[in-house]
Structure 1
């Protein structure tokens, strides 16, 4: 690779070694995994249940975790039963050598102690100051107090700009934890995680006057703070003057307000939490709200860079995982810059919206993307102790728990996350600063005018491989190139030249930075001469060292041949569990989207006006008799469901064991039922089946479904292709394909599993698992030339148990925030098996260890 010596010089002289902390001296396998699962306890879990969760995490390589008090937990939040449960988590972690992070709220946003703070003191309720104009242009002022509940937390919103709000919040949460677990702070307990404390969704429900001209978050000393910052000027008078002049978005009043709001936010909330954590040997981390949208982020957080730096380990929230040109590149850049200003790597919350069929390759890509932006700790969703939460949190799902068939292969993720985290600590080359127009963005947001397109600029630069550092408007920088703003126009600070459009920006970057754009490849150069490239679409990672060695792409095959099962009809197939077919109960009564104030209207499935069966019914046709079928009914939730089969009630008297972890806990099942060939009708009573991740009924057994609604016995052998093509689209688990095969010396085995995790055994020897390309295994020389048993495990995600929202019978009463990662039907299965020959001179003499 080409050494850009001039850029190294700038980086060294300017002190821009991003997060330049010492590299770890221990071996990678001894470094605790940087993956931190959110663990959600539900109901009233007993001591053994909690300790078993910690033991399971430990057994699967997780070195730290964070209990997440959330919907479905029946212990009173912050009560004695709650702290007793937390004690079980912490005690078992101490015994096993794991670390614990403490989440500082119930659900989110942080700051209210699940509504207790504003419920105890009306002065702590969220407020807005509203400017109203009349037909004559006169301006009057109103103060609105929110007494509506937060959409996400079902409680009143607190005002974290009021010191007494935060004082009470700290008393109820952080100080209460210290009283119970003070001896573990700084040892077992690593720190506190705060989550979107400025997110007051009850503001969406405020009844604002239709002729409002301005609405902004308010605290009681706001106007005094403004006067102190402006030499005695009056905030309302300044706003009225700028309103009448039409300069509210470009004047100084709202720019100044944005800055004092940030200072207030830091002083009242973030700095006090950081001080508490520091005094107890803890780290404060978490993230703010709306990082991806500059205007809204500034409106809610003031100066986002300065606010986020109030955390000792600044964090971000990568809500989505579908990285591409329009991704949350500003969020990543904000995290990188806040971490650099803090002088330590940051953290990230990953996969909150799933989807739950994310491949290992996609998860690995997200770790590396975060690492390239200086982030070394990966809070990951979600370890559900039971699935009750999906009764209300029904639009997205992700599982980092035994519910995922791949959970036992988590060490693949740990090893890769460790490698990525190590690179997050290395000093990078950077020659470009980008000004974050925080005050302008805040003023534009409040005045409801277009703001500078910082998000678009970050998308353009990041997607094309350019590294840059966000800086504040008045921040001095030693970097040689600075992109700044004049109003909403982007300019080269050195020349004043305007840059309009992506092509102009990229042409400028290529000329000034001395490197070509790399669309879709995120590139980082390091001061030691190494380079890391993440190919976003391919989910690949390439590491190159100064000496020219590389790690990432396998040597190409000089020849290949298909591995076939010989004279057999196909690959022998063994499944480690039954098919778990979600039963969709068709209904014409599809109502409006519920509990989503930002959405309205009926779901599109209402167009499916079938007339051949009654509402709340499902039809299934058996091509042959099926024995030992079980029906599994969801019993958790407000509905009291019952089901009839061909007019006769089903008896759900058995404890559920046929589903997966966390779903058995919310269900009951029938004894095995033998079903005759032909058509059968199931009818649901007592409620509706309208939630994607909270099904009403499953049909479980050894069957295949090659056509919708038509079931047949399992195949004994299959050809190459997806599980769905073999009728096993509702199977979630490990599918083992076996045959006998012979490999010549020097050949390697290559497998296409449709994106799934694949494990190979040959000649009775475990050759290991792969979660991303290259899905290739070297054949041990002592096994070459012999016809031996070959077993290939294809390990799915949990996604198939929920059925397809594109099924003709699917009737959801809510929208899905994210689509499945994989195609529908899923491509997972044994799609191709080849023996590849690699020339000896193509094999690397050595590879770079990450």
Structure 2
């Protein structure tokens, strides 16, 4: 481990968006900029504005090879982003070109009520599937439709009847009331837009209903059938092998891993599902191998089917997930192993931007995509990766690290992107108003929750301005319109909203998930974020979790009950509570529970709304855990169903388990007071941490003691008390900003720290020595300031207001503030004195209001650079004068004033700088 100089696996990585093939000069220059910004690795990602026909062409592959050559010369590591745009598997449409049998196939269902008792002989019952729409692609507007579908139109063919099941129209009492009438069903009509199936009325029976399951191939889709291994093999032939040939010796050296991104067939809705909602809210991928031997079990996918519902659904989704994962990820994993590269990437996740695993972004029901078996899928990866959206706390990194640990690894890559979520916007408009401080705070949160590496979304080849005929400054013409005439903003909020078509979105690089970080004025400070991120990652990665608490991911409850089940809300409560309270916890899979070593991994196991488990062996494992001294806590529903095995004794076994004196069940969400008392035992023998709200804390053990990371995520100062588990103890502070480690300081009691907003403190508890700081009063520097900027002559400026309110509403860039100040009379720091006070008293510069990044220079000497708060530094000895101190502060704003002035925020200094004595 190198805390001072983090390696490429801990320093941030980035997507490098290519909107066209770059020149050799651009490759060299941008790799220099990327490296100087502190990125240790990158992945080239072609975007929707990149001509699809040029993807994997000779010029493109030559540029990729040239990039690898240049990266190797700079000591940069590459990852291979394996797709055009995203949705790994189609190779820009090459996978299915000439191989129509590999195009995505889908399973639909439709229910119709059978005949009345008075129906004439020979009557027919008809079920239809039509009005099909790709719900996920619709949100991508015309550019997305033309990317995913040939000619932008959805066309279907090769309709087939998978099953026709007659059943009671109301409650289904059990399997005996379901009749397989597939043999009597026939296709009455089938075409590009749907099909109609007819079943003789006498086969259905009076007063009953029939549910028909049909499958079809999307004849115009470029997406593949992930359930077929031959689709993955073809993807390797046309999508991976060209890279391997072009990269040559760089494969496995410069290029160390392959990254897949959200491989999924489209999520289709249809008219009948809207009119008569069933259990599933979208179509499923289809291949004959997923059909159960008893086709009656399919009925559980459309509706409740009696006591066997949970078992039928779990059995189906287990087979469905296993088929897709082995066919696609298994094939990719074997190729990577043969070529000496690691496999990474992430699928469609249900918990992005949330603590709740049912808050899906792309689809309402992630079971449609590899069955939500995240832990099972991770067995095919060498490096775990997850997705995260926007700048608020969420569970992604914790989920990722937990999956990795379940697979015998640790840490994860977190792909971090930003989406616009307000009404009147399209999500792809992104966040040009993002500050480096917001990006940094989110990076710290991810590391504290288990991320080894941040994968930034993204570093850009171009913002597209050189292609605009109307000039580089004519991107916007006020809120809601684009001056180049290529469309208006869409309406709606986020990926789940309805939008008007906006041709500029996606195809205009400036409207393809900004910000392009290298086009932000604050990018010159990004290297500071990169260094801190890498050092925090090294600090945490060099120690192991304390194994206090495990939170079960209720996979089978998800399979059986879907996203409307309360397990999502209970899981979200527990995950966020534990994370914010500073408990060391991991998410575990039922495989971990049944593995027999759960007690070695935690002291407390939490069941968040778990209704369905695999079988009796799971309950027996829970009982053994409790018998070995473990504590079981549960909230919401308790297990009442099994995927396999008899449920006759389940209620009694669960009652016995929860009857243990250490076990507790809450019918609803427990209170914080209840939890504080119940979870106290999990902290026995570990350092205690007392803090105010908004302070994140993590404790991990290394060979010499315990590492503690503290982060003030609040708007004001926070006081934190760290209580060592044994005294006397020692505290060493590791400075993530500089890579410096303070001399150890010996303590005989609790350690109290005051953290400024955004301040990160990393401590190691061991033997050492130290001293106590004090904080005298500050001096406010609010007079005599001037401001100068490119094209703006120096002028007086008020440091209580941003420059956008002082005549510069459209300026985005770096503004230079200057003032001259004297030290207070009698200050020993300004005197040439033998007074002992002069040996310890120094002045600290503190900038309480900066939007968004800054650099400070005192008397010609750079004294501080900051990408985010807290903006403070101690002046080096000999720099400060008694009088006539010249202070210059250069502030870099966000790019919002340039690209998106309607959403611009204050820029520059918005509160006066302060001087305050410091130890």
SS of the residue corresponding to residue 110 of structure 1 reads: coil
Question: Per the alignment, do residues 319 and 556 of structure 1 end up closer, same or farther by CA in structure 2, a change over 3 Å counting?
Answer: farther
CA distance in 2 between counterparts of 1:182 and 1:363 reads 36
Structure 2 partner of 1:366: 442
CA distance in 2 between counterparts of 1:144 and 1:120 reads 27
Structure 2 partner of 1:833: 913
Question: Per the alignment, do residues 26 and 197 of structure 1 end up closer, same or farther by CA in structure 2, a change over 3 Å counting?
Answer: same
Answer yes or no: is 1:718 the counterpart of 2:696: no
Question: What's the offset of the Cα at 1:474?
Answer: 4.3
Question: Per the alignment, do residues 124 and 207 of structure 1 end up closer, same or farther by CA in structure 2, a change over 3 Å counting?
Answer: farther
SS of the residue corresponding to residue 191 of structure 1 reads: strand
What are the residue-to-residue correspondences of 1:489-528 with 2, within 5 Å?
A: 489-490=636-637, 495=659, 497-504=664-671, 507-508=674-675, 510-514=677-681, 519-527=693-701, 528=705
Question: What's the offset of the Cα at 1:399?
Answer: 3.3
Answer yes or no: is 1:574 the counterpart of 2:788: yes
Asked whether the equivalents of residues 124 and 159 of structure 1 are also in contact (C-alpha less than 8 Å), the reply is yes
Question: What's the offset of the Cα at 1:451?
Answer: 5.1
Q: Pick the aligned partner of 2:897 from 800, 810, 814.
A: 800
Q: Pick the aligned partner of 1:213 from 278, 284, 299.
A: 278
**1:646-666: CA deviation from partner (whole Å, max 9, x where unpaired):** xxxxxxxxxxxxxxxxxxxxx
Asked whether the equivalents of residues 708 and 762 of structure 2 are also in contact (C-alpha less than 8 Å), the reply is yes
Contiguous gaps of at least 5 residues in structure 1 = 1-23, 228-233, 579-701, 703-713, 807-823, 844-850
Question: What's the offset of the Cα at 1:456?
Answer: 3.7
**1:146-169: CA deviation from partner (whole Å, max 9, x where unpaired):** 896945552123221221211111
Asked whether the equivalents of residues 753 and 831 of structure 1 are also in contact (C-alpha less than 8 Å), the reply is yes
Question: Per the alignment, do residues 29 and 475 of structure 1 end up closer, same or farther by CA in structure 2, a change over 3 Å counting?
Answer: closer
Moved more, 202-211 or 212-221: 202-211
Q: Pick the aligned partner of 1:747 from 824, 838, 843.
A: 843
Structure 2 partner of 1:385: 461
SS of the residue corresponding to residue 526 of structure 1 reads: strand
Question: Per the alignment, do residues 540 and 142 of structure 1 end up closer, same or farther by CA in structure 2, a change over 3 Å counting?
Answer: farther
CA distance in 1 between counterparts of 2:18 and 2:304 reads 56
CA distance in 2 between counterparts of 1:451 and 1:778 reads 50
Question: What's the offset of the Cα at 1:317?
Answer: 0.6
Answer yes or no: is 1:540 the counterpart of 2:775: no
Structure 1 partner of 2:107: 129
Asked whether the equivalents of residues 733 and 796 of structure 1 are also in contact (C-alpha less than 8 Å), the reply is yes
Structure 1 partner of 2:606: 483
Asked whether the equivalents of residues 298 and 438 of structure 1 are also in contact (C-alpha less than 8 Å), the reply is no
Question: What's the offset of the Cα at 1:261?
Answer: 2.0
CA distance in 1 between counterparts of 2:866 and 2:88 reads 39
Structure 2 partner of 1:465: 582
Question: What's the offset of the Cα at 1:355?
Answer: 2.4
Structure 1 partner of 2:530: 414
Answer yes or no: is 1:86 the counterpart of 2:64: yes
What are the residue-to-residue correspondences of 1:730-769 with 2, within 5 Å?
A: 730-743=810-823, 744=827, 745=829, 746-769=842-865
What are the residue-to-residue correspondences of 1:65-76 with 2, within 5 Å?
A: 65-74=42-51, 76=54
CA distance in 2 between counterparts of 1:62 and 1:245 reads 51
CA distance in 2 between counterparts of 1:127 and 1:272 reads 19
Structure 2 partner of 1:316: 386
SS of the residue corresponding to residue 37 of structure 1 reads: strand
TM-score (ref. length: structure 2): 0.64
Question: Per the alignment, do residues 222 and 452 of structure 1 end up closer, same or farther by CA in structure 2, a change over 3 Å counting?
Answer: farther
Answer yes or no: is 1:97 the counterpart of 2:75: yes
CA distance in 2 between counterparts of 1:517 and 1:764 reads 40
What are the residue-to-residue correspondences of 1:404-803 with 2, within 5 Å?
A: 404-425=520-541, 426-445=543-562, 452-453=568-569, 454-476=571-593, 477-478=598-599, 479-484=602-607, 485-487=609-611, 489-490=636-637, 495=659, 497-504=664-671, 507-508=674-675, 510-514=677-681, 519-527=693-701, 528-537=705-714, 538-547=757-766, 557-565=775-783, 570-575=784-789, 577-578=790-791, 702=792, 716-720=795-799, 721-743=801-823, 744=827, 745=829, 746-784=842-880, 785-803=882-900
Question: Per the alignment, do residues 115 and 748 of structure 1 end up closer, same or farther by CA in structure 2, a change over 3 Å counting?
Answer: same
SS of the residue corresponding to residue 415 of structure 1 reads: helix
Question: What's the offset of the Cα at 1:737?
Answer: 0.8
Question: Per the alignment, do residues 734 and 347 of structure 1 end up closer, same or farther by CA in structure 2, a change over 3 Å counting?
Answer: same
CA distance in 2 between counterparts of 1:429 and 1:197 reads 35
- What is the RMSD computed on CA atoms of the aligned residues? 3.4
**1:288-310: CA deviation from partner (whole Å, max 9, x where unpaired):** 21330534334423212212342
Question: Per the alignment, do residues 717 and 470 of structure 1 end up closer, same or farther by CA in structure 2, a change over 3 Å counting?
Answer: same
Question: What's the offset of the Cα at 1:486?
Answer: 4.1
Question: Per the alignment, do residues 242 and 729 of structure 1 end up closer, same or farther by CA in structure 2, a change over 3 Å counting?
Answer: closer
Structure 2 partner of 1:46: 23
Question: What's the offset of the Cα at 1:256?
Answer: 1.3
SS of the residue corresponding to residue 118 of structure 1 reads: coil
Question: What's the offset of the Cα at 1:778?
Answer: 1.7
Structure 2 partner of 1:263: 322
Question: What's the offset of the Cα at 1:416?
Answer: 0.5
Question: What's the offset of the Cα at 1:205?
Answer: 6.9
CA distance in 2 between counterparts of 1:247 and 1:750 reads 67
Answer yes or no: is 1:113 the counterpart of 2:91: yes
SS of the residue corresponding to residue 49 of structure 2 reads: coil
Question: What's the offset of the Cα at 1:196?
Answer: 0.7
CA distance in 1 between counterparts of 2:104 and 2:279 reads 17
Structure 2 partner of 1:618: none
CA distance in 2 between counterparts of 1:278 and 1:554 reads 54
CA distance in 1 between counterparts of 2:39 and 2:250 reads 19
Moved more, 151-160 or 76-85: 151-160
Instruction: Return the structure number with greater relative CO, CA threshold 8 A, min gap 6.
Output: 1
Structure 2 partner of 1:691: none
CA distance in 1 between counterparts of 2:328 and 2:103 reads 15
Question: Per the alignment, do residues 251 and 781 of structure 1 end up closer, same or farther by CA in structure 2, a change over 3 Å counting?
Answer: closer
Question: What's the offset of the Cα at 1:206?
Answer: 8.2
Structure 2 partner of 1:669: none
CA distance in 2 between counterparts of 1:262 and 1:61 reads 39
Q: How many residues are treated as equivalent by the alignment?
A: 644
Answer yes or no: is 1:336 the counterpart of 2:401: yes
Question: Per the alignment, do residues 238 and 525 of structure 1 end up closer, same or farther by CA in structure 2, a change over 3 Å counting?
Answer: same
CA distance in 1 between counterparts of 2:668 and 2:694 reads 18
Question: What's the offset of the Cα at 1:759?
Answer: 0.8
**1:277-331: CA deviation from partner (whole Å, max 9, x where unpaired):** 22222121111213305343344232122123422111111112123xxxx32x2
Question: Per the alignment, do residues 464 and 754 of structure 1 end up closer, same or farther by CA in structure 2, a change over 3 Å counting?
Answer: same
SS of the residue corresponding to residue 832 of structure 1 reads: coil
SS of the residue corresponding to residue 375 of structure 2 reads: helix
Question: What's the offset of the Cα at 1:254?
Answer: 1.0
CA distance in 2 between counterparts of 1:498 and 1:85 reads 60
SS of the residue corresponding to residue 102 of structure 1 reads: strand
